[in-house]
A and B are shown apart, each in its own frame.
Chain A
């Protein structure tokens, strides 16, 4: 079975042989034949669609397959396949496979992704227990399952599908920078197939650290991390659908433990972001990520302040952390940043990181963010990095400063 398709640059038919080449699971088509092949199959399909020419199911499967491998944005061809699927002449898995192939050559193809979501929805509709399954994930202690075996099988199948989709998205994202369609599909999959399954979100968050570190310009990749964070926070603390665009909506029912977990998530992400900003100066996507994460954090904190003023333990915990941060900074002068020469004597890399302006763990607030910016500006940084740091500072003042 082939796993990749492509055109072989070959402007003329030199030899009297088939232009289709299959080599080590890669399917190639010699380019000279495409300009004959495409209009031929294209018109054949349209004649069928206008009921001027009959085509049996097998022929339709073949013709649409050929067409879509050459022109995957030909919506009507995908629709013909939808109908074939509905009447049982095609399996959903086959269309997922076809889509996966076309994406190797056309990683952005909007119609391919659109069709893919339709197919996945058909598969989901065949899971009678899916709704039940979602509830089950949330109330693990309760055993409400009528038929445990079916549910387990469904769970496994679902997990498999999710995994496959993550791989298809990752592949497409690697083939085209900041692939909006691939990443928004990835979000769609988790939203529709992994609701309440915080393990999936956690796994995604950790497995993508390496990928985004190697694609620091990929704005979509970082947006995906923001989505994951948001879902995890929602799941950990507030329950489903309680997070709208203006922030957390309902009373937090969180325990101090889950609140701590949320804090940790944010601290880790901000630290990760800081590391990247320092290691790869001048990348707008990284600063944009910082804005997003800090904004989410800020909203979360505001909400907690409003809803849980009686939660002394939480506040105490947080203020302890802030004290730690403050004492760390004051040890080396209030808000001042050491020059490189002063750092030479230090042996502890963690210490060094703190002094370079990277947030000490547990300190995440507006003053710390301003400190991060000023320490960057004070050190030698590129024009681009300066620009971005200044813009971030302005954003902090205008967006966060006003709201707090």
Chain B
């Protein structure tokens, strides 16, 4: 008996355009009922939740609706003596929330609100002898934390505080035979970990160490007939995995290997027309916790082709932090979508046999670390990785992705003077 492919079916009446106002209202109202049980449940990642919400609002040009000073004061209260920042007041510090805090402060151009030297010390102190990073003083090692560390330091312009060579060595030791990455050496390849590692390699100027064709193939095999992406073979598609996979493909220059139109359709179908917010997949209940709308925007903008090359962080922030993100040029076959049927099982078209891509031989040594030069998908490099602390099915996690695309989307919204309520198809037509 043949197996039924694990996938979802998108109903004909599923939402087909982006409900921006609904999402904005949802986020603006989130947390107004602070005694809410679910709000308490998710407090352990509050800093990341705030970051996600803010980036989405910023993308939609509605950042002023959020309470800037209150948030900055909150972050101040969350920095501990060791320099690390906690998810909320009274919680213990951790690298995940330290990154989120720095990202928020960058967004608000208020890095002076906390002691950034102490932050650098905290991050530096978490690096181990083998180059890996612990998440906090208790010592759990995970490639997510390598990403958090370099992302934090990149934003602060202090990458030279750590042993970057060793850090790279450790991350590369987590590369698997399929081109993917796991949480530790020898761990199973996982879309989320892959995202963190490609983001890491992008930030440290080591993208040439990846086998882009091989990894790209693994990533594009995540796309299912519904258009959604999963995180590993035989998992259901999930809007959060879609982000990780898409962002990784973007970084390695293989984004044209998936069917964007189908993915866009999938994402839009995940929206809840009544309450705002997104479910993990069409048909699921929208969780009442802050969701990763960002990813949606991100993917939507990417899919609709609005995004311009480069630009992965708000221009204003990029200029302020002296970041000059560069993109890895799209390689490999450019013959449009790989899968007319949405099933990439046969692999990418006309791909050359996998080999180490030596596109940037001069980058063998990572560039001047004092003025961070970020490679492709730097937005992803600046995105919080907190999602890993969360059950991916409670989608609030995935917001990190948002940042990346949000910025692009925002850029394009401004450029094309699109009304916020414009549906994507017309936006695409204007482009």
Contacts and interface: CB of A to CB of B under 8 A. Distances in A.
A307 interface: no
Contacts of B391: 73, 108-109
A217 B353 CA distance: 28
Contacts of A110: 388-390
A382 B135 CA distance: 46
A391 B347 contact: yes
A249 to B, nearest CB: 12
B192 to A, nearest CB: 9
Nearest to A36: B37
A223 B188 contact: yes
A189 B13 CA distance: 48
A398 to B, nearest CB: 5
Interface string B131-159: 00001001110000000000000000000
A1 to B, nearest CB: 27
Interface in A212-243: 216-220, 223, 227, 230
B91 interface: yes
A217 B184 contact: no
Contacts of A117: 140
Contact of A35 (B37, B138, B185): B37
A217 B6 contact: yes
Contact of B139 (A118, A216, A384, A390): A118
Contacts of A38: 37, 40-41
Given A219-B232, A283-B3, A295 B140 contact: no
A34 B173 CA distance: 44
Contacts of B138: 79, 82, 118
Contacts of B37: 34-35, 38-39
Contacts of A245: 172-173, 175-177, 185
Contacts of A127: none
Interface residues of A, number: 65
A398 B345 contact: no
Contacts of A42: 40, 43
A366 interface: no
Interface string A369-404: 000000000000010110110110011001101100
Looking at B37, B190, B354, which has the most chain A CB atoms within 10 Å of its CB?
A: B37
Nearest to A110: B389
Contact of A217 (B183, B234, B389, B390): B234
B94 A75 contact: yes
A76 B176 contact: no
Interface in B335-352: 343, 345-347, 351
B345 A402 contact: no
A390 B92 CA distance: 51
A49 B91 contact: yes
Contacts of A76: 44, 86, 90-92
**Interface SS, A side:** helix
Interface stretch (A2-10, A197-205, A284-292, A319-327): A284-292
Please classify how large the interface on chain B is, using the bins under 10, 10 to 19, 20 to 34, 35 or more: 35 or more
Contacts of B41: 38, 71
A244 B40 CA distance: 44
A382 B89 CA distance: 56
B4 to A, nearest CB: 8
B94 A282 contact: no
B233 A382 contact: no
A187 interface: yes
A288 B345 CA distance: 11
A384 B89 contact: no
Contact of A292 (B2, B40, B177, B221): B177
14 contacts: A42-B43, A76-B44, A82-B138, A178-B235, A217-B3, A219-B188, A219-B234, A281-B1, A282-B5, A283-B234, A288-B233, A292-B178, A382-B2, A387-B343
Interface of B: 1-3, 5-6, 35, 37, 40-41, 43-44, 86-87, 89-92, 94, 135, 138-140, 172-173, 175-178, 182-188, 190, 214, 221, 232-235, 343, 345-347, 351, 353-355, 388-391
Interface of A: 34-35, 38-39, 42, 46-47, 49-50, 71, 73-76, 79, 82, 108-111, 114, 117-118, 121, 178, 180, 183-184, 187-188, 191, 216-220, 223, 227, 230, 244-245, 280-285, 288, 291-292, 295-296, 382, 384-385, 387-388, 390-391, 394-395, 398-399, 401-402
Cβ-closest 9 pairs across A and B = A46-B90, A382-B2, A282-B3, A387-B345, A35-B37, A402-B353, A223-B188, A284-B233, A391-B345
